[in-house]
Structure 1
Amino acid sequence: MTTFDKREEGFEKKFALDEEQKFKAEARRNKLLGLWAADRQGMSAEAASAYARDVVAADFEEAGDGVFRKVTGDLNAKGIAVTEGQIRAKMDELLALAIVQVKAGT
């Protein structure tokens, strides 16, 4: 194996690790967002946990804005006034937190 091949293999492994961490961080963010939205809706701990799982699943059903649409729709359906900006800001805040947690292994 040449030095170039070893470097290429190293870059491929780093890329795979980065993508795995990105996936885990986004899934963690979605769970945290679900728990936040459940709290805003006054759900019990058990219901909040189930709701958070539903929010995570929404990302798999509709990649991209599926999580945003679900949380926004659910909050609006309960009559909870929340703007797109507030939810997007919360998503950004929770993604930063999730990245720290994933890197820390918690």
Structure 2
Amino acid sequence: INAEYAGAVAVSSGDEYNFIKRAISGQKYIWTGGSGLNRSWRWDNGEPFRFTDWSHTGGNRRPQPDNREGNEACLAILNNFYRDGIKYHDVACYHEKPTICERSGGAGK
């Protein structure tokens, strides 16, 4: 059986992150496939959560993730939203944002 997974992007390396940063240059923000709370984060596709680039600031001017709204369980990449460059931010999941999806091969790929 050859299964494929398609879902929101899981950033697994600096090279992939640089690709994403170039791809979103015209966007304010995007969703990723990251979820969690505070310091316990995971990728929805099961990949290890190794590469991070959390912002040093946010709405409360505190380092990310800060769980500012009390329910910020989704990971977005914001494009200089807080004049901090393109960085990871924890965001409440009800916000509407574009998503970059990726496809990865399953068994046999």
Both structures adopt the same fold (TM-score exceeding 0.5): no
TM value normalised by structure 2: 0.24
The higher relative CO (CA closer than 8 Å, separation ≥ 6) is in 2
Larger radius of gyration: 1
Richer in strand (by share): 2
TM value normalised by structure 1: 0.25
